[in-house]
Amino acid sequence: MKELSTLSRRGFLGASAALSALLVSGVPTLAQDGSNLTIAYNLPVQSWDPTTGPAAVNPALQSVYLAVFDRFIGQAPDLSFEPGLLTDWSFSEDKSTITMTVREGVKWHNGADLTPEDVVWSLKRAANPETGNPMQFVWGKIGNFAIDGQVITADVMEFEPALFKWMAFLTAFVLPKAYYEEVGPEGFENAPVGTGPYMVDAFEQGAYVRLKAFPDYWGDAPEFETVTIKFVTDSASRVAEIESGNSDITTNIPYEEYDRLIAKDGLSGEAVPITDIGMIFLNDIDVMTDKNVRLAAHHAIDKQLIIDRLLRGYGVPISTLEAPGYAAYDDSIVVEYDPELSKELLAESGYSTDNPVKFTIQTTRGFKPKDYEMIQAIVGMWRKVGIEAEIEVYEIAKHYELRATDTLAPAAFYNWGNSIGDPSTSTGFSMFGPSPHAVWDTQDLIDKIGPLFVEPDEEKRIQGYKDVSKYIAEEGYVIPLLQYVMPIVYASDLSVTPYTSGDLLPQAVSKS
């Protein structure tokens, strides 16, 4: 029996250089012709190992990885959990061991059979700190594996309540033991092998990847024989791609462009609430050590106005890192828009519009719809209450680099993805100081969140995260902004299945 409850999801329903590279390499820039599909995507693949390095925990790259590799446990479009390379999984009654059954009849792209040894090797490798898996502290909680036929058992070294949820999330991909050991990391980067519906046929760093359907895929065969994913980081260029017909699908474009495009003949669209949230990390440095400054910055933001004016109503304002649909969402926790309160708080610390508090805020530009413009608007709101913030623009890869080394600015805009909806993978890892994803490092949060990672009583664990969320809101340790709605535009002769996770999967596209 699977001891993994399905979470309620009712709350969710240098482009020019890249294109030049496509032309030079001979890859066609025309859209689908019946067996071919072209996607204009907003982020380039940086590594073909989906289990190591910063790229492995980038939610936006999971769509590409999921076309080539399979996870231990799968997720349906509504985020309910389903068998993946594991067909069954469970804790023992006393939570001291786990049991997993490996799917039979699965082939690697090189023709070899998937074996339970591949699964065990992948889990051991993920748990080894030397391999660079960012989630090592999760995978290291099981060990002493044993294999009997297709069944794997392991000891629980430290109880992880969300272990099986993690097996459907970041870095939870199975890699081929024999092939990887034969070719090594560099060889795997040059010729990645997975069990997914598509094989990597051609790849040019920063430009595109061309995928070919894998004829021996264990699941449903994908509709298109060839899929070309162009890496088009500029949102205006993605709009041009879909409008010109050079791409069949694109996503994460400005909402006014979404509304305009879907009104055109030959184009259709989906705009669905997803598990991603927009937030402002606050770093425990400089002026952010002042609680009055932190709370003033939060109360000064009119989130609904930003959603209405910049996002054309596509978004849901939030006050915690638990969004509607997450297991620990608590709608009673609200940080109100109150600019007068902001002024009072700043005055208590000696700041005013004549003597503003100053700091830098970092943001991407064009990675998510209106990301830079949202920060511009927020900086304008801050200016009115006595906060003068300087905007620094960087690429999303730079954000990961700075966050990993704890060198972000006092404020940094980011979109947090949590497709499994568990509080440990939102509030937990983003606010727990020892986590590589955290920015705020104070001992009070370490003491409050640490025990929740191993709490065996599920009701107590969820309530504990709600209590932590309330405490974080009261202290102003982070500024949650909104739950995203993801716009997808595609040719009208296609049918696209949107995923609440925000994944745009080539295998979920078909001819209408």
Residue 487's Cβ-count burial label (10 Å; 0-12, 13-18, 19+) is: buried
Which residues make Cβ contacts (< 8 Å) with residue 149, sequence separation at least 6? 116
| DSSP assignment string, 282-334 | E-SSGGGG-HHHHHHHHHT--HHHHHHHHSTT--EE-SSS--TTSTT--TT--
Q: What φ, ψ does residue 463 adopt, rounded to 5°?
A: -65, -35
Q: What is the DSSP letter of 508?
A: G
For position 25, what pLDDT does the model report?
A: 38
In 23-68 the beta strands, taken as DSSP E runs, fall at: 36-41
Residue 349's Cβ-count burial label (10 Å; 0-12, 13-18, 19+) is: middle
Angle formed by the axes of helices 255-262 and 235-244, nearest 10°: 10
For position 33, what pLDDT does the model report?
A: 61
Long-range Cβ contacts of 190-193 (<8 Å, 24+ apart): 192/48, 192/49, 192/68, 192/69, 193/108, 193/109, 193/110
Which two tokens mark 147?
């294999």
For position 59, what pLDDT does the model report?
A: 86
Q: 486 vs 9, 41, 113, 368, CA distance in Å? A: 16, 13, 37, 9
Cα-based angle 417, 422, 424 (whole degrees, multiple of 5): 90
Distance CA 440, CA 337 (A): 23
Distance CA 163, CA 98 (A): 10
Q: pTM surpassing 0.85? A: no
For position 387, what pLDDT does the model report?
A: 98
Q: Which residues of the chain have pLDDT under 70?
A: 1-33
Q: Is-contact 95 81, C-beta < 8 A?
A: no
Q: Is-contact 152 119, C-beta < 8 A?
A: yes
| DSSP assignment string, 171-221 | T-B---HHHHHHHHHHHHHHS---SSSEEEEEEETTTEEEEEE-TT-SSPP
Q: Is-contact 106 218, C-beta < 8 A?
A: yes
For position 277, what pLDDT does the model report?
A: 95
| Residues, the chain | 512
Report the candidate in 46, 84, 480 with the shortest Cα–Cα distance to residue 282: 480
Q: 158 vs 97, 163, 415, 480, CA distance in Å? A: 10, 10, 30, 31
Which amino acid is present at 280?
I
For position 54, what pLDDT does the model report?
A: 85
